[in-house]
């Protein structure tokens, strides 16, 4: 059969894929998933089912306007940062598999640096005739040099400007804090099984990690280490390589769509940290507000799994 992928949407407390006309049969794959004839309910991660697909614009009864052939459908819920449904007794939105290593973005994922970044970038934007309100939100998740180069400003040297911004950000770390619970979470990981993969320079990353009161990671992949930054997969692939694990055996913790795209391109699963989010982010990745109710469990094979701290 032909395998296709249909995004699901949350509707009235239920998860429903668009254009599904009729469920032929179903079988659970992983996670606490359930789908019944006439009841579109998904509580898990992935549910292969056989359906009849109604294509966009299809009109029932009009020949050629809908595809009535059965397809194998890999149904993955599209989460809208609905953290209210994520509780210690409902851990199903977390990955049900285990991993060889964890890779963490830095800004917005393990620490909060948004205020510092926005102060520095706003000042830079004003000096270059840009509107900070519309420009500053576009800088998150990318290397500074890439952000400046993409602007194509005449007479502006992206490398020199990126260095100036980095120096300003290193001096502005007074209100940087760790994301709730991340210190305990990182301390529970084997030192050779995790890394920080950031779009910041090594100097800036080191300064911010220290300012947040977090220990320096055993492995840090920074903007200085790759020629192509996020959303290209290179940073995460380098992290996996340095840890000596396969990309598909890594779980990524991210907070931006740019970072999530990089992880997906690298063939890695992701969780999205929503602690600093003001607006919902539409993504396949399961949302976690922070790390306060998360724990790491080592499997019998020595791999790692994220679980919720039941009763916390």
**What gap in Å lies between CA 181 and CA 241, rounded to an integer?**
28
What's the Cα-to-Cα distance from 175 to each of 114, 138, 163, 164, 290, rounded to whole Å?
10, 21, 21, 20, 18
* Tokens 């989010």 belong to residue: 277
Say if residues 219 and 239 touch (Cβ distance below 8 Å). Answer: yes
* 107 is known as an active-site residue: yes
Annotated catalytic residue within 105, 146, 172, 255: 105
Annotated catalytic residue within 40, 67, 98, 107: 107
**Token reading at 276:** 């600093």
Say if residues 5 and 17 touch (Cβ distance below 8 Å). Answer: no
Q: 250-254 and 101-104 as β-strands: parallel, antiparallel, unpaired? A: parallel
Say if residues 162 and 139 touch (Cβ distance below 8 Å). Answer: no
**CA angle (107, 234, 210) in 5-degree steps:** 30
**What gap in Å lies between CA 178 and CA 112, rounded to an integer?**
6
* 105 is known as an active-site residue: yes
Instruction: Please write down the HEC assignment for all residues of 221-266.
Output: ECHHHCCCCCCCCHHHHHHHHHHCCCHHHEEEEECCHHHHHHHHHC
* Gap between the terminal Cα atoms of the chain: 44
Question: Which active-site residues does the annotation give?
Answer: 105, 107
């Amino acid at each position: 059969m032909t395998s296709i992928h249909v995004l699901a949407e949350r509707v009235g407390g239920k998860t429903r894929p668009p254009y599904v006309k009729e469920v032929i049969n179903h079988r659970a794959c992983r996670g606490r998933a359930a789908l019944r004839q006439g009841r579109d309910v998904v509580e898990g991660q992935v549910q292969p089912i056989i359906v009849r697909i109604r294509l966009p614009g299809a009109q029932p009864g009009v020949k050629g306007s809908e595809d009535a052939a059965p397809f194998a459908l890999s149904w993955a819920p599209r989460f809208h940062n609905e953290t209210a449904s994520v509780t210690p007794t409902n851990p199903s939105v977390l990955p049900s598999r285990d991993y060889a290593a964890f890779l963490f973005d830095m800004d917005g994922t393990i620490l909060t640096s948004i205020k510092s970044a926005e102060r520095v970038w706003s000042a830079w934007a004003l000096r270059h005739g840009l509107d900070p309100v519309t420009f500053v939100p576009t800088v998150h998740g990318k290397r500074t040099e890439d952000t400046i180069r993409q602007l194509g400003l005449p007479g502006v040297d992206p490398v020199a400007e990126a260095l100036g911004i980095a120096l300003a950000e290193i001096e502005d770390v007074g209100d940087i804090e760790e994301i709730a619970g991340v210190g305990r979470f990182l301390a529970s990981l084997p030192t050779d099984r995790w890394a920080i993969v950031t779009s910041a320079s090594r100097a800036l990353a080191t300064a911010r990690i220290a300012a947040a009161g977090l220990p320096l990671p055993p492995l840090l992949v920074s903007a200085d280490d790759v020629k192509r930054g996020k959303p290209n997969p290179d940073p995460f692939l380098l992290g996996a390589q340095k840890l000596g694990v396969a990309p598909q055996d890594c779980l990524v913790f991210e907070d931006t769509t740019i970072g999530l795209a990089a992880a997906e391109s690298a063939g890695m699963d992701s969780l999205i940290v929503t602690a600093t989010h003001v607006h919902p982010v539409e993504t396949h990745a399961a949302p976690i507000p922070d790390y306060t109710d998360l724990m790491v469990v080592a499997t019998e094979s020595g791999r790692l799994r994220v679980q919720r701290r039941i009763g916390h």
